[in-house]
Structure 1
Amino acid sequence: MKTVETSRLILRRLTLDDSARVEEYASDYDVAKTTLNIPHPYPEGGAREFITSILEAERNGKIAIFAITRKEDNGLIGLINITGTNANRRAEIGYWIGKPYWGNGYGTEAARAVIKYGFEELNHNRVYALAFTDNPGSWRIMEKSGMKHEGILRQHAIRDGRPVDMTYYAILREEYTG
């Protein structure tokens, strides 16, 4: 996996050394409630377990995951991933940014870079993402990244024991402008 650079960010390989920072941000309820996969309360030591499992999935070609770091201080501010190559040439991206860094455009910058990676490095034809309908911060990142809204998936997932609607966005290779 290569490192991806943007004007303000470096998207690099996630390592076990990142576990303390991942756990710190993932433990924040405001971050956890925006995802399907971050439990709350976040278990102590859970980040090491998560990183170990996601790196195994990466070795198997199922996913590419990046630590989102700021160039100015090399500090980890979040994670972003894209699913690996497949016969349908489509990939899902998923991301979260630590709450202290919300509202600075880092999510959009990272999403644009990973969409580019998906088209140019992984040869995908379609990149998509989903977010809770009550999470406008996430779906605005999708819009600003060039994705188009394709619909609402009603009661598509279960979060905290209740069905939740997901909004669905995608961008096609032919729409991608680089």
Structure 2
Amino acid sequence: MDLTLESNRILLMCFKKEDAYRIAELANNEELANILGLPHPYKIDIAQEWIATQPELIKMGIEYPLTIIDKQVKEIVGTITIRVDNKNNKGELGYWIGRDFWGKGYASEAVNRMIEFGFIELHLNKIWASAISRNIASIKVLEKSGFQKEGTLRQNKLLLDTYEDVDVFGLLRCDYIK
């Protein structure tokens, strides 16, 4: 499946094998590892293995992992995915932006386009996301996109030998349609 979603400044596109180098370059960042739990150092083989699984996930409608590409410079700046729970008609949103591109609105634009895809094209009833409680930037992105905080999972994730609280956010189709 060749899925491409477009918005004002970005394209969300399926990964190609050659994208592994760019993903490894972007993901190999200590700050990202610290808030997302990505492996560090992030090696090329990790990216290659991850990308290799994606066509089947998309084909099965289980997950839609996409690159976030700046249309002007034609460069990958991050990734976004929605993992579909068909039994409960909901999707889990996940995303990250390369450190050099933080604070430029890429996450917000990608999240808003993926929300539209989830509700309009996948017909989901709910989209949810989580963020480490200290990841204020990601929380702002979610709140700005209409997500409501549904709770905090205390000491829910072990990152770098520290138990981290995780905030959970949800957006319902009925609230999005309004």
**Band the TM-score falls in, shorter-chain normalisation:** over 0.9
TM-score by length of 1: 0.93
Q: Does the 8 Å contact 1:25/1:31 carry over to 2?
A: no
Does residue 84 of the first structure (1) align with residue 84 of the second (2)?
yes
Give the structure 2 partner of residue 175 of structure 1: 175
The corresponding residue for 2:117 is: 117
> Retained in 2: the 8 A contact 1:66–1:80?
yes
Q: Partner of 1:9 in structure 2? A: 10
Deviation at 1:171, TM superposition (A): 0.5
Q: Is the contact between residue 20 and residue 44 of structure 2 (CA under 8 Å) also seen in structure 1? A: no
Structure 1, unmatched stretches of 5+, are none
| Structure 2 gaps, min length 5 | none
Q: State the one-letter code of the partner of 2:125.
A: N
- Paired position in structure 1 for 2:75: 75
Q: How far does residue 54 in structure 1 lie from its aligned partner after superposition? A: 3.4
Residue 40 (structure 1) aligns with: 40
- Once the two structures are superposed, what CA deviation does each residue of 1:59-112 show, in whole Å capped at 9, x if it has no partner? 332200110001102110000000125021111000000111110111000000
1:10-40 per-residue CA deviation (whole Å, 9 max, x = no partner) reads 111111111111000110111222213x111
**Deviation (angstroms), 1:119:** 0.4
CA RMSD of aligned residues (A): 1.5
Superposition deviation, residue 177 in structure 1 = 3.8
Q: Distance in 2 between matches of 1:30 and 1:57?
A: 28
Structure with the bigger percentage of helix: 2
Q: Does 2:22 match 1:27?
A: no
Are the equivalent residues in 1 in contact too, given 2:21–2:44 (CA < 8 A)? no
2:51 corresponds to 1:51: yes
TM-score (norm 2): 0.93
- Tell me which residue corresponds to 1:130: 130
SS in 1 for 2:74: coil
Report the Cα offset of residue 146 of structure 1: 0.9
> Alignment length, in residue pairs?
177
